[in-house]
Structure 1
Amino acid sequence: MSDLADSIRAALRSAADPSRAPGQQAYMKSSMPFLGVRLPDVRRLTRAAAKAAGVATAAGLRDAARELWDSASYREERYAAMALLGVDGASADQAVVPLIEHMVRTGRWWDYTDELSHRLAGLHDREPAVTAELVRRWSTDEDMWVRRIAIISQLGRRDRVDLDVLAEVIQSNLADREFFVRKAIGWALRECARVHPEWVRTYTQTHELSPLSRREALKHL
């Protein structure tokens, strides 16, 4: 076990609030228990531990993240693993993709998938062509969580959103009946509408969206 993973575990346990844990677990419908640490505190403690450990390489951060994820006894340990991917270049290039995919496929829930989408958004900026091809491929995957992260992978990019890529990953999922996929389509379009309102209006008028996706897409228009 790495020193960094051990120090993060210790920090999380020191910050635990058992009175909060049952409510967190119930809200997230999680079979894995919680320690009762707030998510902002998980992130803060993770960053502090990484800084104190002085891990110098992106690969070292990813290794610690993988260890925390795979050996987690509490959900906050998985939140910390994802937080490590936002530290000091851990997600600077495509080397992080296998770990993101592993987390999505094994985590299989919206809180994990949505948090990890931020790492893909960064890759869209740094390596647009390769990342576009990745999400196109993921948009037709058998795993709905992999499809969901492909759909929401550009959240937060605002005027940098690649509209062609967004349209392609949505098109592959228009007929999907899964709630979390339909919600993702609406969410991605709603966020896009903040910068490209006319594009989203036209898209919703010319494509057969589910009622949920359409309602979400047009919420602020």
Structure 2
Amino acid sequence: MPKSKTINKKKLLGGENSKAEDVILEVRNIADPKAVEILSRFFKTGKGEYGEGDLFLGVKVPPLRKISKSYKGLPLPELQKIVKSKYHEERLLGFFILCEKFQKTRTDKREQLHLFYLKNLKYVNNWDIVDLSSRDLIGDYLIDKKRDLLYKLVKSNNIWERRIAIISTFAFIRKGDFKDTLKISELLLSDKEDLIHKAVGWMLREVGNRSLKSETDFLDKHAHKMPRTMLRYAIEKFPDKLRLKYMKTGKE
């Protein structure tokens, strides 16, 4: 009898009967108040910084991922309550759950989850949430579709939407398709934000990991006007001689 109860509990966990409150309770039970100050500094929550006003509970990423796997059946109305939480880790967990749902859903049934993500973009409001959700919920979704959305996002005044535009292309890079990464990187060459420079450099490096020529062709054309941080990220894995060549031509 006890064994049967355990099985039933597992069937219910994360299913249609689950509530946002169940998820939130699990997160808050593992919160570490001692880590709050460290995370707040790391994610720049001070006045005038990119994460100004964000609130933390003190929970690391691995436990959040573990919880997300248990609640992939959570209904979207309940998930909505989590992704709009005032706490950073709960928002991140909400998008982890959405990614889990997306990955377990047939390709032709994913539109609803993609649209849910777009509807909640204002809560994708720090670099870790961008990086850990957009590759699935935008990039993977657009693999076989028109990509006009990315070119709309890259023109946004919102730093996180611009970062989403470039990071989403990682899904295409993994398929050996670099054209949108290179086009969007070019559009972001004059961006003023360091977090955009890092994201562009990172994606260019990922291109180079698969096709060094594709990356060096881009650098031969643009290295002289690339922000220093962007260039450093892009050439991080280059052999010393090649890296020094581009550092000499890079923008000061």
1:37 aligns with 2:59: yes
- AA matched with 2:157: E
Could you say which residue in structure 2 is the equivalent of 1:142? Answer: 157
1:186 aligns with 2:204: no
Kept in 2, the 8 Å contact 1:138–1:150? The answer is yes
Could you say which residue in structure 1 is the equivalent of 2:134? Answer: 117
Map 1:67-78 onto structure 2 (within 5 A): 67-70=81-84, 72-78=85-91
Query: What is the aligned residue count?
Result: 208
Kept in 2, the 8 Å contact 1:46–1:84? The answer is yes
Cα distance between partner residues in 1 of 2:199 and 2:163: 6
Cα deviations by residue, 1:158-208 (Å, 9 ceiling, x for unpaired)? 441422211221222222222122222111101111101111011011123
Query: 1:107 deviation in Å?
Result: 4.1
Kept in 2, the 8 Å contact 1:118–1:155? The answer is yes
- AA matched with 2:31: A
Q: Which has the higher contact order (CA 8 A, sep 6+)?
A: 1
Kept in 1, the 8 Å contact 2:169–2:180? The answer is no
User: Which one of 213, 217, 220 corresponds to residue 202 of structure 1?
Assistant: 217
The gaps in structure 1 that reach 5 residues or longer are: none
Query: 1:213 deviation in Å?
Result: 1.5
Kept in 2, the 8 Å contact 1:136–1:165? The answer is no
- AA matched with 1:149: I
Cα distance between partner residues in 2 of 1:153 and 1:33: 26
Kept in 1, the 8 Å contact 2:126–2:160? The answer is yes
Q: Give the number of the structure whose alpha-carbon radius of gyration is greater.
A: 2
Q: 1:105 to 1:73 in 2, by over 3 A?
A: closer
TM-score norm. by structure 1 comes to: 0.82
SS of the residue 1:20 aligns to: helix
TM-score norm. by structure 2 comes to: 0.73
The alignment-based identity, stated in percent, is 22
Tell which deviates more after alignment, 35-44 or 107-116.
107-116
TM-align CA RMSD: 2.3
Could you say which residue in structure 2 is the equivalent of 1:82? Answer: 95
User: Which one of 140, 144, 168 corresponds to residue 153 of structure 1?
Assistant: 168
Cα distance between partner residues in 2 of 1:167 and 1:46: 33
